[in-house]
Structure 1
Amino acid sequence: MSDEQNRKKVLSQPFKPKEDELFRTLWEAQAGKCALCGEDMPQNRFETAHSTLWKKLRPTFDHIKPRSKGGPDTPENLQLAHARCNKIKGNK
């Protein structure tokens, strides 16, 4: 998928203001760092230009205590992590 196709796909997604607000709150609380590896994360979805890099580096919501292990889907149980870090962590 080209960068332009990826951009159009992202822009076609419904806007979720509560999710966006939560993202900003967590991003600021974590000083823009991945909660799992400590490296910098993009502040917005267009900061990383190449779509292959974006798939790995994009910030994702990570459940501190996984839902599969009874963790709640609440802001207190969420942190931001790179997509690749979140995938590696799995349900640990």
Structure 2
Amino acid sequence: MSFPIICQIPAFAGMSDEQNRKKVLSQPFKPKEDELFRTLWEAQAGKCALCGEDMPQNRFETAHSTLWKKLRPTFDHIKPRSKGGPDTPENLQLAHARCNKIKGNK
């Protein structure tokens, strides 16, 4: 028997159950393994393009889910989309979520 999770977080108030689920479960255990991801991963040898440190391949390579949230690989636009950068493989690199956020649209 399962019970629904009732969200008590004020930021999620007024959202539908589906929206809450997407918000809470937005950090997958493993990045989407598509051809572009694998190509970038191999080209960068599993290292962050911004800081040069190793990136974990999945959630279970980190000690805690909070670390996964910060260290998980994300696509980073070399020339930001906000400045006209395209979504092409030549303009993408992999970076830690933390490094990508710090970089912002620079």
TM-score (norm: length of structure 2): 0.67
Would the aligned equivalents of 2:78 and 2:93 in 1 still touch at CA under 8 Å? yes
Would the aligned equivalents of 1:64 and 1:79 in 2 still touch at CA under 8 Å? yes
Measured after TM superposition, the shift of residue 6 of structure 1 is: 13
1:67-92 C-alpha deviation (Å, 9 max, x unpaired): 00000011110000000000000000
**Greater Rg by CA:** 2
Q: C-alpha separation between the residues in 2 aligned to 1:82 and 1:25?
A: 17
1:43-83 C-alpha deviation (Å, 9 max, x unpaired): 23543251100111000000000000000011110000000
Q: Percent identity?
A: 100
Q: Single out whichever of 37-46 and 14-23 deviates more from structure 2.
A: 14-23
| Structure 1 residues 33 and 21: CA distance shift in structure 2, 3 A | same
Indicate the structure with greater helix content.
1
Higher relative contact order (CA 8 A, sep 6+): 1
Q: C-alpha separation between the residues in 2 aligned to 1:54 and 1:81?
A: 13
| Structure 1 residues 76 and 6: CA distance shift in structure 2, 3 A | farther
Would the aligned equivalents of 2:47 and 2:55 in 1 still touch at CA under 8 Å? yes
Would the aligned equivalents of 1:26 and 1:80 in 2 still touch at CA under 8 Å? yes
| Structure 1 residues 4 and 35: CA distance shift in structure 2, 3 A | farther
Unpaired runs of at least 5, structure 1 = none
Unpaired runs of at least 5, structure 2 = 1-14
Q: C-alpha separation between the residues in 2 aligned to 1:91 and 1:48?
A: 27
Q: Single out whichever of 52-61 and 11-20 deviates more from structure 2.
A: 11-20
Q: C-alpha separation between the residues in 1 aligned to 2:17 and 2:56?
A: 16
Paired position in structure 1 for 2:61: 47
